[in-house]
Structure 1
Amino acid sequence: MSRGSVLIVGGGIGGLSTAIALRGVGYDVNVVELQADLHSSVYGVGIIQPVNALRALDAIGCAEACLAVGYSTTAWGQMLDVDGKLIREMPGSRIPDSDLPPMNGLTRPQLHKILTDKACEVGVAIEYNKTFTTLTEGPAGVGVVYTDGSANIFDYVVGAGGVYSTVRPYVLREELKPVCLGQSAFRLNIPREPEIDRIILQHGPEGLAGFVPIGPDLAYLFYNTTWEEGRRLDQDKMAVELRERLAPFGGLAGRVRDKYVNDPAQIVFRPEEWLIAPAPWHNGRIVLIGDAVHAVTPHLGQGAAQAIEDGVVLAECLSSHSSHEEAFMAYSERRHERCKLIVESSVAIGEYEMDPAAHPDFDHAGLTQHVLETMIQPI
Structure 2
Amino acid sequence: MNGSTVLIVGGGIGGLSASIALSDAGYDVNVVEIQEDLHSSVYGVGIIQPVNALRALDAIGCAEACMAVGYATTAWGQMLDVDGNLVREMPGARIPGSELPPMNGLTRPQLHRILTDKALGSGVTIDYSKTFTTLTDGPGGVEVTYTDGSANVVDFVVGADGVYSKVRPYVLAEDVEPVYLGQSAFRLNIPREPEIDRIILQHGPEGLAGFVPIGPDLAYLFYNTTWEEGRWLDQDSMADELRKRLAPFGGLTGRVRDKYVNDSSQIVFRPEEWLIAPGPWHNGRIVLMGDAVHAVTPHLGQGAAQAIEDGVVLAQCLSSHSGHEEAFAAYTERRYERCKLVVESSVQIGEYEMDPASHPDFDHAGLTQRVLEAMARPI
**Amino acid aligned to 2:152:** N
The Cα offsets for residues 143-165 of structure 1, whole Å up to 9 and x where unpaired, read as 00000110010000000000000
1:138: Cα distance to partner? 1.5
Q: Equivalent residue for 1:183?
A: 183
Superposed, which structure 2 residues align to 1:298-313 within 5 Å?
298-313=298-313
Q: Secondary structure at the match of 1:239?
A: helix
Aligned partner of 1:251 in structure 2 is 251
Q: Distance between the aligned counterparts of 1:133 and 1:4, measured in 2? A: 22
Q: Distance in 2 between matches of 1:63 and 1:347?
A: 28
Deviation at 1:232, TM superposition (A): 1.4
Question: Stretches of 4+ moved more than 4 A in 1?
Answer: none
**Which whole-Å CA distance do the structure 2 matches of 1:90 and 1:47 have between them?**
18
The alpha-carbon deviation at position 18 of structure 1 amounts to 0.1
Kindly report the root-mean-square deviation, in angstroms, between the aligned alpha carbons of the 2 structures: 0.7
Q: Normalization by structure 2: what TM-score?
A: 1.00
In 2, distance between residues paired with 1:4 and 1:235? 46
CA shift digits 1:218-267 (9 cap, x unpaired): 00000000000011111010000000000000000000000000000000
The answer (yes or no) to whether the contact 2:172–2:281 under 8 Å persists in 1 is yes
Equivalent residue letter for 2:39: H
**Structure 1 residue 274, shift from structure 2 partner:** 0.2
Q: In structure 1, give the amino acid aligned to 2:365.
A: A
TM-fit CA distance, 1:2: 4.6
Q: Distance in 1 between matches of 2:153 and 2:329?
A: 23
Partner of 1:169: 169
What does the per-residue CA deviation read over 1:5-37, in whole Å, with 9 as the maximum and x for residues that have no partner?
A: 000000000000000000111000000000000
SS in 2 for 1:3: coil
Who is 1:116 aligned against?
116
Aligned to 1:100: 100
Deviation of the 1:139 alpha carbon: 2.0
Q: Partner of 2:149 in structure 1?
A: 149
Q: 1:225 corresponds to which letter in structure 2?
A: T
**Matched residue, 1:371:** 371
Q: What residue number does 1:11 align with?
A: 11
Q: Which residue number corresponds to residue 227 of structure 2?
A: 227
Secondary structure of 1:188's partner? strand
Which residue of structure 1 lines up, in the alignment, with residue 24 of structure 2?
Answer: 24
Task: Please name the residue that 1:135 is paired with.
Answer: 135
For 1:74, the equivalent position in structure 2 comes to 74
Alignment partners' CA distance in 2, 1:7 and 1:179: 28
Query: Which letter maps to 2:376?
Result: I
- Secondary structure at the counterpart of residue 101 of structure 1: coil
Aligned to 2:293: 293
CA deviation map 1:319-376 (0-9, x unaligned)? 0011000000000000000000000000000000000000000000000000000001
Alignment of 1:256-295 (within 5 A): 256-295=256-295
Match of 1:89 in 2: 89
Contact residue 2 and residue 319 of structure 2 kept, 8 A: no
Alpha-carbon distance in structure 2 between the residues aligned to 1:252 and 1:2:
52
Structure 1 residues 160-190: Cα deviation after superposition (integer angstroms, max 9, x where no partner): 0000000000000111100000000000000
Q: What TM-score do you get using the length of structure 1 for normalisation?
A: 1.00
Q: Distance in 2 between matches of 1:135 and 1:231?
A: 35
Provide the rounded CA distance (Å) in 1 between the counterparts of 2:121 and 2:62: 12
Aligned residues: 379
**Aligned mates of 2:185, 2:163 — CA distance in 1:** 17
- Report SS of the residue matched to 1:308: helix
The AA in structure 1 aligned to 2:204 is G
SS at match of 1:95: coil
Tell me, what secondary structure is at the counterpart of 1:98?
coil
The aligned amino acid for 2:277 is: A
Work out the CA distance in 1 between the residues paired with 2:61 and 2:131.
Answer: 27
Query: SS in structure 2 opposite 1:223?
Result: strand
Matches of 1:131 and 1:347 in 2, distance apart? 32
2:317–2:328 Cα contact (<8 Å) kept? yes
Amino acid at match of 1:260: Y
Alignment partners' CA distance in 2, 1:290 and 1:68:
25
Aligned pairs for 1:310-329 within 5 A: 310-329=310-329
Amino acid at match of 1:147: T
The CA distance in 2 between the partners of 1:374 and 1:180, in whole Å, is 26
Taking only the aligned residue pairs, the percentage that are identical comes to: 84
State the distance in 2 between where 1:174 and 1:272 align.
23
